[in-house]
Chains A and B, each alone.
Chain A
Amino acid sequence: DAGVTQSPTHLIKTRGQQVTLRCSPKSGHDTVSWYQQALGQGPQFIFQYYEEEERQRGNFPDRFSGHQFPNYSSELNVNALLLGDSALYLCASSLLGQAGTGNEQYFGPGTRLTVT
């Protein structure tokens, strides 16, 4: 059973460029959340996608956008990159409304984005 996968692993971009990161959720999951983790900090919630729509958004500018496909995979797009966008981007998948005591969000290995 494949867990959450993300691509690419590492990425180097220049200020002002655009980037697309990809995430495939764990089998059976239908919801994808994206987090940004700057060096030395805890992850911060960017947004969550369910049924191909953004259903919740954190405190991030419109330069950050996303998409979810019918197979539940997701993309994170960042336009007009800034140096401050350098971070580890984590994708987490879950099953909407899952109750119980399980660890509902499963995190992928992350994409390390460096903006120069």
Chain B
Amino acid sequence: ELKVEQNPLFLSMQEGKNYTIYCNYSTTSDRLYWYRQDPGKSLESLFVLLSNGAVKQEGRLMASLDTKARLSTLHITAAVHDLSATYFCAVVLPSSGSARQLTFGSGTQLTVLP
């Protein structure tokens, strides 16, 4: 059974600070996603990571993937209030083939304080 663990679950940080969210998964997978969710809203896709060493950046967010360690990180640089949201990583279940069934972590609720 594929397990996806995120930490921390809750994160409060000051504006302008840097921090990293971690996503560990238990079984080899060929792709990993990061999503953002605002309260009461759906999931907004941020990044898809396909290979070992992959790094993607968009604005103040940077995601990386280490498939050997089964670890992905989402790094936040110089946080601003607009980044306050819940962030999920999701891993494709290898046995799901082309169905690409996603297994999600529990999410990290990020609050950026002024």
Contact = CB atoms under 8 A, between A and B. Distances in A.
15 contacts: A41-B106, A41-B107, A42-B90, A42-B105, A43-B104, A56-B96, A56-B99, A56-B101, A103-B45, A103-B48, A105-B100, A107-B42, A107-B43, A109-B41, A110-B41
Interface of A: 31, 33, 35, 40-45, 48, 50, 55-56, 58, 90, 94, 96-97, 101-110, 112
Given A103-B48, A107-B42, A107-B43, A33 B101 contact: yes
> When A and B form their complex, which 10 residue pairs have the shortest distance between CB atoms, in order from nearest?
A42-B104, A103-B45, A56-B99, A107-B43, A97-B98, A109-B42, A107-B42, A45-B101, A110-B42, A43-B104
Contacts of A40: 107
Given A35-B102, A50-B99, A107-B45, 5 more contacts: A41-B107, A44-B104, A55-B99, A56-B99, A108-B42
A84 to B, nearest CB: 17
Interface string B25-58: 0000000010100001111010010100000000
Interface centre among A31, A97, A101, A105, by most B CB within 10 Å? A105
Interface residue tally on B, bucketed by range: 20 to 34
A103 B33 contact: yes
B7 interface: no
Contact of A90 (B42, B45, B107): B42
Nearest to B89: A42
A114 to B, nearest CB: 13
A112 B40 CA distance: 9
A106 B90 CA distance: 13
Nearest to B1: A59
B100 A104 contact: yes
Contacts of A41: 106-107
Nearest to A112: B40
